[in-house]
Amino acid sequence: MSEAITVSSIKKCNFWDDWEMDTIVGPRNKDAMLTLVERSQGFSIITKLPKGKDSEGVLKAAYRELLPYMGYIRSITTDNGTEFAMHRELAEMLGTKIYFAHPYASWEKGLVEYTNKLYRQYIPKGANFDNYTEEQIKQIQYKIKSINLETPPESELSDGTF
């Protein structure tokens, strides 16, 4: 596994600030997972939502997952789904701004859409999310992180070539 992202590594990189947020759903929209991606580095987070796309559950999960990065979240872009109805509360709790993509303009939050497609390679449509433990989900998250862009410690050591 790659080195974990820590708050201290983020403090070294001034460019951690714009995030995208979305959900992926299970069969019949019963189950859901929250996905978050930081735009400049491609760092992603995925977590199960115990009550599906319930807006209060999304609020709690997003806050829990983003709290370690508080102060390094300039904005969050999401869609107009009802699961994000508590966006004002989340913005206030995290001290950030939340923006919404235009309807049918998923490219306005294209990195999280792309990342969701990567997650779907490991969690296919129609899969029962109850079959995935939190540990398995975090292992998938680390696999996706290694596919996406570099983490701050790796990028600091980079010689500029890809």
pTM of the model: 0.80
Predicted pLDDT of residue 19: 95
From CA 34, how far away is CA 15, in angstroms rounded? 23
Instruction: Check if the beta carbon of residue 36 is closer than 8 Å to that of residue 119.
Output: no
Strands (E), the chain: 18-25, 32-38, 44-49, 75-78, 97-100
Predicted pLDDT of residue 139: 93
Predicted pLDDT of residue 32: 95
Residue stretches of the chain with pLDDT short of 70: 1-16, 146-162
Predicted pLDDT of residue 29: 81
